[in-house]
Copies of this chain bind each other. A is one copy, B any other.
Amino acid sequence: MNAAPIRVAVQREGIDLAAETLLIEATDAGAIATFTGLVRADDGVATLELEHYPGATEAALRQVAEGAVARWSLAAVTIVHRVGPMQPGERIVFVAAAAAHRGAALEACAYLIDRLKTDAPFWKRETRGDTATWVEPRDTDHAAAARWE
């Protein structure tokens, strides 16, 4: 069960959903659940910049993926997170879980994104006009992560 292939990537380039989909569909699972986070433009954000802790980030994402593989019977797990400057509409994060049955895929997908929000060393800075602001963590993220404990 722990042999499920895990793919973790932290990258400056855009997330290639077609390529990620091909990889996760190649596992012969019957059910694939995915989550994609996009930069929202709705509150005047012109640029979002993501800083991270190289090395520690990849280890944290791998730990999140391994947590999912330990809890559910999964065929594959993917976590791809972008860093650097991004524009509204661009993909920040893509997670996917493949399984024989849809329950495991759907739950694991929710677990991956919930844990990632609190467990991985990323920091967001939003630029609106001339003002750059570091994004504060949200209590709801910690509540969402805690429900898996």
Q: Which residues of A contact B (CB under 8 A)?
A: 17-18, 21, 25, 28-42, 88-89, 100, 102-103, 105-106, 109-110, 113, 144
A22's nearest neighbour on chain B, judged by CB, is B17
Assembled-state Cα–Cα distance A7/B105 (Å): 23
Stoichiometry (number of copies) = 2
Q: How far is the CA of A30 from the CA of B90 in the complex (A)?
A: 10
A41 vs B75: C-alpha distance when bound (angstroms): 14
Knowing A35-B106, A106-B110, A109-B106, say if A41 contacts B28 (CB, 8 Å).
yes
Chain B residues, Cβ within 8 Å of A30:
37-40, 42
Q: Which of B89, B105, B144 touches A35 (beta carbons < 8 Å)?
A: B105
